[in-house]
Amino acid sequence: MSLLSPFSRRLYLRIWLAVVGGVVVFAFAVGVAWRWAAEQNQNQHQPPTREIIIADAQGRPLVEGLALRQRGNPNEGLRYRIEAGDGAVYEMYLSPPTSGRHMRPGDRWPASWFRPPLGFLWMLALVGIAVTVGVFPIIRRLLQRLETLQRGVQRFGEGDLSARVAEQGQDEVADLARQFNAAAARIQTLVQSHKSLLANASHELRSPLTRIRMGLELMQGGQPSPAFRAEIERNIAELDQLVDEILLASRLDVGAADMGTVEAVDLVGLAVEECARVNAEPQVGDGNAIEVPGVAKLLRRAVRNLLENARRYSQGEITLAITRAGHDAVLRVCDHGPGVPPEQRERIFEPFYRLPGASERSGGVGLGLALVRSIATRHGGSVACEDRPDGKAGACFVLRLPAAP
């Protein structure tokens, strides 16, 4: 792992590094400016007098005496008045420091606002501006993605459920963007699912209600026949089943917490009871109990829906087998029906989806298998449609659930 990896994954570290870097540069520049100002100040405040000896090439003193600095404009250099021991007076001129250029009397230093203390203040101001201008684009680039995320959240809050934000980088902002996109996709799916549920439920409710209304109109106050009474009861039962499955699907879809108590459920005993209702053949191996943690009424509904779906389309015997595979309990319901084409084996678990050619009179409202998948997912399991292991016509629905130790 690179040493810079923590900085690429932590936004606050990157901001901190940018600010610290700016402060370090600023402090270094201030130190350089301070040293330069001190040197210049020292040059301007030299001792007023000093002893000077001027000698020839052989080292013999030519002039020896006390030099007194003369007050004047530093731009014109330094002037000293030398009083020799014999009473003679001399003048000595020293030009200001130059960068390899010889300065003569009358040449000027830089403008006064470059000299201390104004020069020091000007340098501090320039360095401060440089640091400010240099650090701003760095922090601006780091925080620009937050503004993009803010605009995406605002669009989503205004009703655009398709709004998503770009996922760039690996820091906290990128992680937040990924979580927002996942949550937005989930919400969009739920809203679309509820809209589809409402539209399909309205259609499914209309059919039995229309048949009941037509039957009542045909009866015209007369005594209903047994066949008519049975038809009315069948339609009322269909309505009751539809309402019950719609309510259960809605509660499972939103993840309702009060669906029942989680306990150890004997899957073998539950499956045998449900097989007796539809005259299916249970195959439970050695007959030992296989327990799964879950809500008993939901697991019973899942097994019942699989058996009723098989009974609805099967042309022969229905078998239910329960085995243990590793840490999972595997429940397999096989029928002798027309089977399910491979390209339709995922779609049949969508709410209100029926295979092409399936007749509404065959029963069911298209929610049974969708409920099985919702129940399996809630219990940490899965359900899938497969071919029969013996190669015969029909389909097998395999429900896998985590088994208790």
The tens digit of pLDDT for each residue in 279-323 reads: 888 887 666 788 999 988 899 989 998 998 888 888 888 999 999
Residues 246 and 275 in one domain: no
Residues 302 and 211 in one domain: no
How do strand 291-295 and strand 281-283 relate by DSSP bridges?
Answer: unpaired
Instruction: Compute the distance between CA of residue 181 and CA of residue 172 in angstroms, rounded to an integer.
Output: 14
Give the lowest-confidence range in 115-119, 129-133, 399-403: 115-119
Residues 339 and 223 in one domain: no
Asked whether residue 43 is assigned to any structural domain, the reply reads: yes
Q: Last residue of some domain: 221, 253, 285?
A: 253
- Residues in a beta bridge with 53: 64
The pLDDT of residue 402 is 92
* 361 pLDDT tier (thresholds 50, 70, 90): very low
Asked whether residue 167 is assigned to any structural domain, the reply reads: no
- Those residues whose C-beta lies under 8 Å from the C-beta of residue 309, and which sit 6 or more positions away, are 364, 368, 369, 397
Instruction: Compute the distance between CA of residue 353 and CA of residue 372 in angstroms, rounded to an integer.
Output: 14
Q: Last residue of some domain: 87, 108, 134?
A: 134
The pLDDT of residue 74 is 58
Instruction: Compute the distance between CA of residue 305 and CA of residue 80 in angstroms, rounded to an integer.
Output: 114
* Predicted confidence (pLDDT) per residue in 254-263, tens digit: 665 567 788 9
Q: Name the residue with higher pLDDT: 59 or 121.
A: 59
* Predicted confidence (pLDDT) per residue in 156-179, tens digit: 888 888 888 888 777 777 888 888
Instruction: Indicate the burial class of 213 (C-beta count within 10 angstroms; 0-12, 13-18, 19 or more).
Output: exposed
Residues 278 and 346 in one domain: yes
Residues 242 and 312 in one domain: no
Residues 245 and 277 in one domain: no
Instruction: Compute the distance between CA of residue 50 and CA of residue 54 in angstroms, rounded to an integer.
Output: 13
Residues 12 and 80 in one domain: yes
Residues 296 and 394 in one domain: yes
**Share above pLDDT 90 across residues of the chain, in percent, rounded to a whole number:** 10
* Whether the bond into 117 is cis, omega within 30 of 0: yes
Average predicted confidence (pLDDT) for the chain: 76
* Longest Cα separation, the chain: 157
What average pLDDT does the segment 219-224 reach?
A: 67
Residue recorded with tokens 């250099």: 77
Q: Supply the CATH number for residue 288's domain.
A: 3.30.565.10
CA distances in angstroms from 223 to 227, 228, 232, 311, listed in the order given:
12, 10, 13, 34
Asked whether residue 316 is assigned to any structural domain, the reply reads: yes
* 401 pLDDT tier (thresholds 50, 70, 90): very high
Q: Name the residue with higher pLDDT: 34 or 276.
A: 276
- Those residues whose C-beta lies under 8 Å from the C-beta of residue 201, and which sit 6 or more positions away, are 242, 246, 352
Asked whether residue 160 is assigned to any structural domain, the reply reads: no
Instruction: Compute the distance between CA of residue 329 and CA of residue 224 in angstroms, rounded to an integer.
Output: 50
Sign of the dihedral through C-alpha 12, 17, 22, 28? positive
Asked whether residue 346 is assigned to any structural domain, the reply reads: yes
For 348, other C-beta atoms within 10 Å of its C-beta total 21
Question: Which residues in 243-311 belong to E strands, given as ranges?
Answer: 262-266, 281-283, 291-295
Residue recorded with tokens 């085995």: 323
Asked whether residue 150 is assigned to any structural domain, the reply reads: no
**What's the number of CA atoms in the CB half-sphere (13 Å) around residue 208?**
21
Question: 3-state class of 68 per DSSP?
Answer: strand
- Residues in a beta bridge with 354: none
Cα angle 358, 363, 365; round to 5: 85
Instruction: Compute the distance between CA of residue 347 and CA of residue 27 in angstroms, rounded to an integer.
Output: 67
- Residues in a beta bridge with 282: 320
What average pLDDT does the segment 240-257 reach?
A: 69
Q: Last residue of some domain: 117, 134, 151?
A: 134
> What's the DSSP call for residue 379?
T
In terms of residue numbers, what domain contains 222? 172-253
Residues 190 and 240 in one domain: yes
Asked whether residue 148 is assigned to any structural domain, the reply reads: no
Is 153:181 a contact under the CB 8 Å cutoff? no
Residues 244 and 273 in one domain: no
The pLDDT of residue 330 is 92
Instruction: Compute the distance between CA of residue 41 and CA of residue 324 in angstroms, rounded to an integer.
Output: 92
The pLDDT of residue 142 is 73
Residues 279 and 370 in one domain: yes
Residues 197 and 312 in one domain: no
Asked whether residue 306 is assigned to any structural domain, the reply reads: yes
Give the lowest-confidence range in 180-189, 324-333, 355-364: 355-364
Domain count, the chain: 3
